[in-house]
Structure 1
């Protein structure tokens, strides 16, 4: 029998939601709301950690005083309203400094001036901003290892940096429209990367995913090929945009949606945020159109499809740095954890796989914090040895 477990309580979820609005939807909040929220020490610590995550995503090998100041100003501009100071703690949250060098991680904030030294071999770190670009001749470029990569061939300028990701933009050079040139962006386990295609479509690639796409779109269709998980904000155009998956495809004109199609998984999921998409199952030879707030699930073996209403944020919040485990069972949650933290998961008791859990956590959380919340919420115990994570049933549901 399927049971439901709640992680961290409602107050924790409310604080995570408020933090998300503060960082990404500042215009929705008043100065009084922010002042009140930041009066809590726990909330200030949460904001502190969020700033750390944003800094970590930039993946600078060394952080100079100049770069630290740029980060401080960026965080201030995001959180304060134009021309008006809203709270006195902005210096607190922006004082975070991450240094990654010589195999060590140092974390310092104004709440604790004592540096903490952690060996990478002793700690499983969350995912980071990294990817590999594969060119037509097979050449591979490690994007996270470069501050910039620029290529202006084929009539398209390709730029990469650790803030905006990989960006393709058209220039005035003449191009050969008879043949498409494809690039492939590969995001390893423990990675994440944004991409702006030459037609203006935005893509976020999750851990363990890859996307093959034309450097410049031409012809009667804008086609890309996905393995893994990606969130798309498709630029509206009369030319259809097609996401090709294994034994299926998704066709749109202009819309926002998430696709989860990892190799080896039993199901493929397409979740629609806005617009409309047509999902084609090659095995069933059927077309299904879904509306915003709906999710299509296709059995990867049979091709059978099923549509249900869902909370879209559950399936898109990863693009904003939040684990949202609502409506997910333990098996689904552990697949996410395995890809993000690069661990191998083993279930010793099969029946606990399908217990549902409800809760949200920052993706920059320490893996032990995530596992402890799951352990405290349900009848499970975990054991982490190196990269091996073992999940067992807890006797009598007591941990």
Structure 2
């Protein structure tokens, strides 16, 4: 099984390299030493014709034929499933890229999103759409033009007043806390944090999704949410806790964390300890905690500006896309939300290109009206 996982990771890495080469507009970087890949995928001038053939191509039949022809005595169905998906996505993604970018390269479609902002302890709101260096009650607050705000203080500074960083849908932002811990917050998230941590605990409150790189200390660092708390000393992890989502999760990259989950239906709590590569998924309404081994690269792809979904239902995908581009998504038929997808694409391609890729992969259609997106068959 380890060999299979290694091959899957290698395929993902190659796919990312191909996407980067295509984004740079340098086809020679895609496969300079692979005449077979050139023959299978085609040079840019032939890709339009290759794409047109897709509509009449029976992918299900071809996949079954591929598995039958290549399955060894020791069956590895999961690997074939992923390998076939990666191959199909590469061909569709590469073809679609050149088809859309023939002649000139368009600016990715996006809606203008509200900028992130701080709410200080006295209620003052600070917009983070410009460079800032301000002194506030003994603190130095610095906002760069790189999407990161930091809090700096003198050692004798004792106040631990609460502040809030608000990230509207359609944007992301980073924060450096007073202890040096770095937090990257995803769209539609908020983080409540003190100007300076107390001596016995470093506590913040998360609503949404955040990637935490915690400065090591003997003082525990605790991330609280409505249904899940995470306790660490120094580590790197990703936590997703949107109030409207049916599942909250924590994925550990490095170190060790203790996770405590709170049920919404009773006073029952569930506690577990995660080691790197494990994810805790908790369903607050049902009170069910599940621990899985996951691909941390996939789980944290959003930090690299990527959408990466493997066997994820369309409802979940559109929820994430809606948050990322400040879109309101509705489905004509609830059953469309259950369609599973394999998608990997850069966020900066813009939501219109992403929706076209989803249409090519699933057959569903999209109707756009302002920031309203209707999904139908």
Question: Fold conserved (TM > 0.5)?
Answer: yes
Q: What do the CA deviations read for 1:268-308 (whole angstroms, capped 9, x no partner)?
A: 11111111111101333221112211111111223321111
1:13 CA drift (Å): 7.7
User: Of 29, 32, 57, which aligns to 1:36?
Assistant: 29
The reply on whether 1:321 has 2:297 as its aligned counterpart is no
- Relative to structure 1, the CA distance from residue 327 to residue 169 in structure 2 (aligned partners, 3 Å threshold; closer, same or farther) is farther
- Relative to structure 1, the CA distance from residue 20 to residue 280 in structure 2 (aligned partners, 3 Å threshold; closer, same or farther) is farther
The reply on whether 1:272 has 2:256 as its aligned counterpart is no
Indicate the SS of the match to 1:279. strand
1:1-399, aligned counterparts within 5 Å? 14-17=14-17, 36-37=29-30, 125=110, 130-144=115-129, 146-151=130-135, 153-154=137-138, 156-163=139-146, 165-172=148-155, 174-176=156-158, 180-283=160-263, 284-393=268-377
- Relative to structure 1, the CA distance from residue 356 to residue 282 in structure 2 (aligned partners, 3 Å threshold; closer, same or farther) is same
Conservation of the 8 A alpha-carbon contact between 2:171 and 2:325: no
Partners of 2:193 and 2:15 lie apart in 1 by 38
Indicate the RMSD between aligned Cα atoms, in angstroms.
Answer: 3.2
Partners of 2:112 and 2:346 lie apart in 1 by 12
Q: What do the CA deviations read for 1:76-102 (whole angstroms, capped 9, x no partner)?
A: xxxxxxxxxxxxxxxxxxxxxxxxxxx
Which consecutive residues of structure 2, in runs of 5 or more, have no partner in the other structure? 1-9, 33-37, 45-102
Q: What do the CA deviations read for 1:206-263 (whole angstroms, capped 9, x no partner)?
A: 1110000111112211000000111111111111100000032111111111111112
> Which of 321-330 and 33-42 deviates more?
33-42
Say which one has the larger Rg.
2
Partners of 1:341 and 1:254 lie apart in 2 by 32
Conservation of the 8 A alpha-carbon contact between 1:297 and 1:307: yes
Partners of 1:241 and 1:158 lie apart in 2 by 22
Partners of 1:140 and 1:128 lie apart in 2 by 17
Partners of 1:129 and 1:320 lie apart in 2 by 21
- Relative to structure 1, the CA distance from residue 21 to residue 182 in structure 2 (aligned partners, 3 Å threshold; closer, same or farther) is farther
Partners of 1:130 and 1:365 lie apart in 2 by 20
- Relative to structure 1, the CA distance from residue 11 to residue 289 in structure 2 (aligned partners, 3 Å threshold; closer, same or farther) is closer
Partners of 1:319 and 1:127 lie apart in 2 by 20
Q: Name the count of aligned residue pairs.
A: 296
Q: What do the CA deviations read for 1:85-127 (whole angstroms, capped 9, x no partner)?
A: xxxxxxxxxxxxxxxxxxxxxxxxxx86x9x8x9xxxx95167
